Amino acid sequence: MELQSAFDGLLHSDQPLSGLDDLIWQSLRDGADSSDHPWNLGAFSTIDSAHPQFPRPECRKVVLRHADQQRRTIDFYTDVRSDKIRQLNSGHSPALACWLFYEATTKIQLRLDGMAEVIDGEQADEVWKQTAADSRASYLSIDPPGERVNDPLPPSTADRFVTQEVSERGRKNFRIVRTTVRHADWLYLRRQGHVRSMIDYDASGAIDAFWVVP
């Protein structure tokens, strides 16, 4: 309820619109820092253009790992062999993606869209070093995630339970996906009347925040 009461407090202030952007980004930072926060998990959407005549939207839950208000970026981590990476690396350039945050007790939905990039190299090295052994399991499958298995039983995941030393082999699969947000759509299903706002972010850092009819 902390998230909800923070926005309630803002809406009771004289200039709620001027504080909305800061509160959204503070809440994203809090979401990245705590697995208990309503915005720790988001849905991340892409377009699969493998068959250009039949582009297909795809959506999946991911963990919000970092939010940078100054750069207007949010990050999650993933396996480079996953379908979402293929989708980001093909089709429209730069890759376009959308995030959605919602947790039922708060009644507050946030949609963010912008350009997504896949990051390897030193930045990924730094994060990988801090990644605990149990989290590294996500990057350790010998066979690529999403690969079809022609067997009556689900495949074994024993290849992921390894020592810290062996877990280093997961590094080659590990990537940061960073979305630079260009547009936010915030909706609060408030008992005494719904409230909705949009914020446009341009590349110079300027923002345009306005109310819209909910």
The site for ligand FMN (CB under 6 A) is made up of 41, 58, 60-63, 76-78, 82-84, 145-146
Q: Are 185 and 201 in contact (CB under 8 A)?
A: no
Q: Which residues pair with 198 in a beta bridge?
A: 185, 210
Cα–Cα distance measured from residue 158 to residue 103, given in angstroms and rounded to the nearest whole number: 33
Of 9 and 146, the one with the shorter C-beta distance to ligand FMN is 146
Of 6 and 133, the one with the shorter C-beta distance to ligand FMN is 133
Question: What number of CA atoms fall less than 13 Å from residue 7's CA on the CB side?
Answer: 22
Cα–Cα distance measured from residue 141 to residue 189, given in angstroms and rounded to the nearest whole number: 41
Shortest Å distance, C-beta 55 to ligand FMN: 15
Shortest Å distance, C-beta 26 to ligand FMN: 21
Q: Which residues pair with 211 in a beta bridge?
A: 197
Shortest Å distance, C-beta 24 to ligand FMN: 21
Shortest Å distance, C-beta 43 to ligand FMN: 8
Shortest Å distance, C-beta 91 to ligand FMN: 14
Of 44 and 188, the one with the shorter C-beta distance to ligand FMN is 44
Shortest Å distance, C-beta 124 to ligand FMN: 14
Of 61 and 194, the one with the shorter C-beta distance to ligand FMN is 61
Of 21 and 75, the one with the shorter C-beta distance to ligand FMN is 75
Of 50 and 207, the one with the shorter C-beta distance to ligand FMN is 50
Report the first-to-last Cα separation within the chain, whole angstroms: 22
Q: Is 75 helix (H, G, I), strand (E, B) or coil?
A: strand
